[in-house]
Amino acid sequence: MRHVSLLIVILALLSPGIAGNDLPLRIDAPPRIVAIGDVHGDLSATRRALRLAGAIDTNDRWIGGDLVVVQTGDQLDRGDEEQDILDLLTRLTREAAAAGGALHVLNGNHELMNARLDLRYVTPGGYKDFEDAVTVSEVDSLLDAYDPEQRARVAAFRPGGVYAKVLARRNTIQIIGDNVFVHGGVLPEHIDYGLDRINRELREWLTGTGPTPEWAEKRDSPVWARQYSDEPDADDCATLEKVLTRLGARRMVVGHTGHDDITSFCDGKVWCIDTGMCAYYGGTVQVLEIVGDRVHRLSED
């Protein structure tokens, strides 16, 4: 029934109610937030994390009510079920909004890599997975540079492609109440540049209406930075403190850097939620729950 899932994505793209340009950087805090880290092409891990959060039932339907879920990026690469994951998250975004809740799906470095046609982490199944997503033209100079089995995925994710437009309907950085969510990390230079500008420029590039943002290529970009997640030292924590103060926030929640368990650094000012839950890494399914001032991890174990 893949054609049904693709129809859901197409209808979502045509719907004016959830246009990417309508996504604010800041929203008020709900009673309960749950954050989910990297899932890397593992549909089972994605479903299990959403169920652990109390977001979906056994039929993958939203039951979270006013729950707000944030997935901090890296749905793509290393696994074979990426299209199903993207389609599921697209549908749940609509269902959550209709129920008074929200699902905020962010872009990570692997989403940007695919849009840049950096395919080094794509599995053979990941190429095959998108063969039914697009019609590959026989006359296309860009696609001609790729092996035939790669062309459908390239067509789907290149800027302006059907799944690049799905990625475009997201923020890269999301602030909910006093919580900052981002895949890698927000640094002072990102604030100077403009967080709204970062979100807007990425959307424009992915839709094919703007150039590749210069910051997207940098190792210290919001989707690549590891200063707060890879054993941060005192200087890193001091930088984080300055960033949070400037943003009027209490904590930052990031993925990108794997840990055995959800881990906090800098006196609880950063929470690292990538537990390698996908099959490629074999880690545990854990999510981060935020209820008011209370922050703790939920685990299947």
Task: For residue 110, indicate whether it is catalytic.
Answer: yes
23, 122, 170 from 78: Cα distances, Å: 29, 6, 22
**Per the structure block, which two tokens stand in for 285?**
């399914």
Strand-pairing partners, residue 33, are: 68, 290
Return d(Cα 265, Cα 234) in angstroms, integer: 10
Return d(Cα 74, Cα 183) in angstroms, integer: 8
Return d(Cα 160, Cα 143) in angstroms, integer: 14
Return d(Cα 258, Cα 277) in angstroms, integer: 9
Q: What are phi and psi of 5, to 5 degrees?
A: -60, -40
How is residue 226 annotated by DSSP?
Answer: -
Angle between helices 82-98 and 43-52 (to 10 degrees): 30
Contact of 164 with 118, CB cutoff 8 Å: no
Task: Please name which of 162, 35, 33 lies closest in space to residue 90, comparing C-alpha atoms.
Answer: 162
Task: Please name which of 267, 189, 196, 185 lies closest in space to residue 20, comparing C-alpha atoms.
Answer: 196
Task: Please name which of 258, 262, 279, 259 lies closest in space to residue 271, comparing C-alpha atoms.
Answer: 262
Compute how many other C-beta atoms are within 10 angstroms of the C-beta atom of residue 54: 17
Q: Catalytic pick from 40, 110, 183, 190? A: 110
Residues annotated catalytic, as ranges: 110
